[in-house]
C-alpha cells in the first residue's frame, strides 16, 4: 500500500452514495495526514492537492443525491 491511499474502483462504485462520500472524506483526511509528514514542500503540496480533489468529489457526490434522499425521504 503506497502511503495508505490504495483505491479500489470496483469496491468504491459498489458502495451506496452516502458511503462513497464518507470514503472520499476519509481519503482526504489521510492525504492531509501524509502531507503533514512530508519533508519536501513539493510532496506536501502534492498530497494536499489530492486531499482537495477527494473533498471536491465528496461534494459532487453529495450534490448528485436527490434532496429528498438527503433528508431521509424514500419513495
**What does the domain layout of the chain look like in residue ranges?**
17-70
Rounded to two decimals, the pTM is: 0.79
Coil, helix or strand at residue 10: helix
For residues 67 and 26, give the distance between their C-alpha atoms in angstroms, rounded to a whole number.
23
What tens digit of pLDDT does each residue of 30-61 get? Answer: 999 999 999 999 999 999 999 999 999 999 99
Tally of CB atoms within 10 A around 53: 14
pLDDT at 48: 97
Q: Which segment, 5-9, 15-19, 28-32, is predicted with the most confidence on average?
A: 28-32
For residues 66 and 60, give the distance between their C-alpha atoms in angstroms, rounded to a whole number.
12
For residues 37 and 48, give the distance between their C-alpha atoms in angstroms, rounded to a whole number.
12
Amino acid at each position: 500500500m503506497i502511503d495508505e491511499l490504495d483505491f479500489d474502483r470496483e469496491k468504491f462504485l459498489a458502495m451506496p452514495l452516502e458511503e462513497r462520500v464518507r470514503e472520499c472524506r476519509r481519503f482526504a483526511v489521510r492525504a492531509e495526514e501524509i502531507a503533514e509528514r512530508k519533508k519536501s514542500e513539493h510532496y506536501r503540496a502534492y498530497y494536499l492537492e489530492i486531499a482537495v480533489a477527494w473533498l471536491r468529489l465528496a461534494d459532487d457526490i453529495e450534490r448528485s443525491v436527490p434532496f429528498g434522499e438527503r433528508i431521509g425521504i424514500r419513495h
